[in-house]
């Protein structure tokens, strides 16, 4: 009997140790002792995030920033838009180049129709000069506009629109009429040259 009591006590003692060991193992909070693999993964992710942020920051610093248009470029764009709007409307009404009533091959060159086109061209040239307003970088447009105004004045002074019969007068009308016929296209070219500061 004594031997059986000792045996039972020994069994109970071992069982108690086993239960206590399991209890301690299960009672530990996961957050108290994170697995080594989880901790390593977390460190790697944090390191990658820092590296990624640093790379993005470096890329942003090295990327060229879009520079705003300079005051000169803005002025050139403004002049171009104003001139283009005007000459486009006049071109629709009068045509230009070979389609202009002032073309030297046009039967309307010595008529009031060419005179009206000459006036419109001169007005468009005047608008261009007003838009330029003494600014630098519009040498081509300035030259074209002044040449057009001179041509229109010469056309009027010679009386080209009245159908002159004198051969010398008719011959003298050819040059200003040709300049006027090409006027809208030349103004457009001058406005475009202004974008390049010419």
Res 23 pLDDT > 60: no
Q: Is 25's pLDDT higher than 70? A: no
With a CB cutoff of 8 Å and minimum separation 6, the contacts of 153 are 122
Helix/strand/coil for 111: coil
Residues 180-193 as b or e (16 or more Cβ within 10 Å = b): bbbbbebbbebbbb
Task: Give the whole-angstrom CA distance, residue 10 versus residue 4.
Answer: 10
In the numeric block, the tokens 């202004």 are attached to 194
**What's the DSSP call for residue 161?**
G
Note whether 121 and 152 are within 8 A (CB).
yes
Q: Please answer whether residues 194 and 148 qualify as being in contact, where contact means their C-beta atoms are separated by less than 8 angstroms.
A: no
Residue 17 has pLDDT above 80, yes or no: no
- pLDDT at position 52 over 60: no
Residue 68 is predicted with a pLDDT of 56
Confidence band (pLDDT; 50, 70, 90) for 174? very high
Torsion of CA 59, 62, 68, 72, to 10 degrees: -160
Would you tell me how many other CB atoms lie within 10 Å of the CB of residue 145? Answer: 28
Reported residue count of the chain is: 198
- What residues does each domain of the chain span? 71-195
Residue ranges of E strands in the chain: none
Average of per-residue pLDDT across 85-102: 93
Least confident of 44-48, 160-164, 167-171, 189-193: 44-48
In this prediction, residue 4 carries a pLDDT of 55
């Amino acid at each position: 009997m004594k031997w059986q009591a000792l045996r039972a006590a020994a069994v109970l003692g071992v069982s108690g140790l086993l239960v206590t060991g399991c209890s301690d193992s299960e009672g530990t909070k996961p957050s108290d002792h994170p697995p080594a693999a989880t901790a390593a993964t977390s460190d790697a992710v944090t390191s990658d995030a820092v590296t990624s942020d640093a790379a993005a920051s470096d890329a942003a610093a090295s990327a060229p920033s879009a520079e705003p248009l300079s005051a000169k470029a803005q002025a050139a764009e403004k002049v171009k838009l104003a001139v283009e709007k005007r000459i486009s409307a006049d071109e629709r009404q009068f045509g230009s180049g070979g389609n202009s009533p002032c073309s030297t091959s046009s039967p309307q060159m010595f008529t009031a129709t060419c005179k009206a086109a000459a006036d419109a061209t001169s007005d468009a040239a005047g608008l261009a000069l007003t838009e330029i307003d003494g600014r630098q970088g519009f040498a081509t447009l300035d030259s074209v506009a002044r040449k057009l105004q001179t041509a229109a004045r010469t056309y009027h002074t010679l009386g080209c629109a009245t159908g002159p019969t004198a051969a010398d007068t008719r011959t003298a009308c050819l040059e200003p009429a040709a300049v006027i016929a090409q006027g809208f296209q030349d103004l457009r070219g001058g406005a475009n040259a202004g974008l390049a500061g010419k």
